[in-house]
């Protein structure tokens, strides 16, 4: 939850002059989104989200993020649509930060997603992968296997503060992932952070995907593995096979997985567990106590990493039989 930067009414009025969206009626800071400052804005022209990009988002990446949302929405995917300014551009500046106005998406994220939600998110992820196939910009994934060691070096010396033996366990797993990481899987634009708080539902119906600020180019099946980690484990740490089946059958009903992707799924899942373990570990060790952010337990992802290491074939995730035959 966060509003890092507040905005005065004068600054906002000047910013809004560049848009043809009517007169300002209200704006309120939203207690969601860890990376940026977000406001819910109402004008005589509608309801919008105003996002101020804080320093963790690189300015040079913004054309990719905003362009991607524009592209996906144009393909019929339900995601926030950046509102164009009078001059046609999607990005402005407010309170010294790059800022954009995007359409408001109805729906709420599921604090306790069920099996039906997992099926819907699988389907939507595959639809996003198909819709992104002809997006013209590209962005490397700084948080994939090549980036993990740098991330790890910033936490290694203090890892055992979190749990005894954690350092050695990560070291060994990281070496294994680097040695075995697959090559040549089908790649494209991935969301890379499709956690429950980034998927809106109205009742059981998925109403949209949000927060494309980690989107990048990488293996499509790696995105699937992120969703397995994010959606299919219970609070007690156990993998929920029924949810896994639902998510994977939702995905494969739109885009069947290829044999090489299926074979790589356990390794990719170990990799995505490592990615969230490392960023959470870093945040855990470096976030000052007074910060306005709730720190997330890195050990949740250590337990997930261990589970994936015990998996020998993708069917253990609940991959439907017809997907395996393809």
Residues within the interface to a copy of itself (CB under 8 A): 1-3, 6-10, 12, 23-32, 40, 42, 105-108, 110-112, 200-203, 289-290, 292
CA 258 to chain centre: 23
Nearer to a copy of itself, 197 or 316 (CB): 197
Nearer to a copy of itself, 102 or 257 (CB): 102
For the CB of residue 26, give the shortest distance to a copy of itself in the complex, in Å.
5
Give DSSP secondary structure letters for 47-72: EEEEEE--TTS-GGGHHHHHHHHHHH
DSSP 8-state symbol, 285: H
β-pair type (97-103, 46-52): antiparallel
Nearer to a copy of itself, 107 or 147 (CB): 107
Q: How far is the C-alpha of 187 from the C-alpha of 185, rounded, in Å?
A: 6
For the CB of residue 107, give the shortest distance to a copy of itself in the complex, in Å.
5
- ∠ Cα 222 228 232 (to 5°): 175
Q: What separation, in Å, do the N-terminal and C-terminal C-alpha atoms of the chain show?
A: 43
Nearer to a copy of itself, 25 or 241 (CB): 25
For the CB of residue 40, give the shortest distance to a copy of itself in the complex, in Å.
6
For the CB of residue 89, give the shortest distance to a copy of itself in the complex, in Å.
25
Tokens 């362009």 label which residue?
Answer: 67
For the CB of residue 23, give the shortest distance to a copy of itself in the complex, in Å.
8
DSSP 8-state symbol, 250: H
Instruction: Determine the length of the chain.
Output: 326
Nearer to a copy of itself, 3 or 248 (CB): 3
């Amino acid at each position: 939850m966060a509003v890092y930067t507040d905005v005065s009414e004068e600054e906002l009025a000047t910013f809004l002059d560049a848009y043809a969206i009517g007169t300002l009626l209200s704006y309120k800071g939203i207690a969601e989104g860890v990376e940026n400052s977000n406001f819910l804005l109402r004008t005589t022209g509608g309801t919008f989200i105003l996002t101020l990009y804080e320093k963790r988002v690189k300015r040079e990446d913004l054309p990719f993020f905003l362009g991607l949302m524009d592209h996906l929405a144009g393909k019929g995917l339900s995601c926030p649509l950046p509102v164009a300014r009078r001059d046609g551009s999607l990005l402005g500046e407010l309170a010294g930060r790059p800022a954009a106005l995007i359409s408001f998406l109805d729906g709420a994220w599921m604090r306790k997603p069920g099996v039906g939600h997992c099926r819907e998110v699988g389907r939507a992820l595959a639809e996003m992968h198909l819709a992104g196939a002809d997006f013209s910009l590209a962005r490397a994934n700084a948080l994939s296997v090549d980036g993990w060691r740098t991330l790890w070096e910033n936490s290694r010396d203090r890892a055992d503060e979190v749990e005894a033996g954690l350092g050695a366990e990560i070291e060994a797993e990281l070496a294994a992932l680097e040695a075995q990481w697959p090559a040549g899987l089908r790649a494209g634009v991935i969301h890379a952070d499709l956690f429950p708080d980034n998927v809106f539902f109205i009742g059981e119906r998925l109403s949209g995907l949000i927060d494309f600020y980690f989107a990048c180019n990488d293996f499509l099946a790696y995105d699937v593995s992120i969703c397995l980690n994010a959606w299919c484990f219970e609070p007690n740490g156990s993998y929920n096979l029924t949810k896994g089946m639902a998510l994977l059958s939702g995905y494969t009903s739109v885009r069947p997985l290829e044999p090489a992707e299926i074979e790589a799924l356990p390794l990719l899942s170990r990799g995505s567990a490592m990615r969230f373990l490392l960023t959470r570990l870093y945040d855990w060790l470096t976030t000052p106590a007074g910060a306005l952010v709730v720190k997330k337990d890195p050990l949740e992802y250590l337990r997930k990493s261990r589970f994936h290491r015990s998996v020998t074939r993708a069917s253990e995730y609940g991959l439907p039989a017809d997907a395996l035959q393809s």
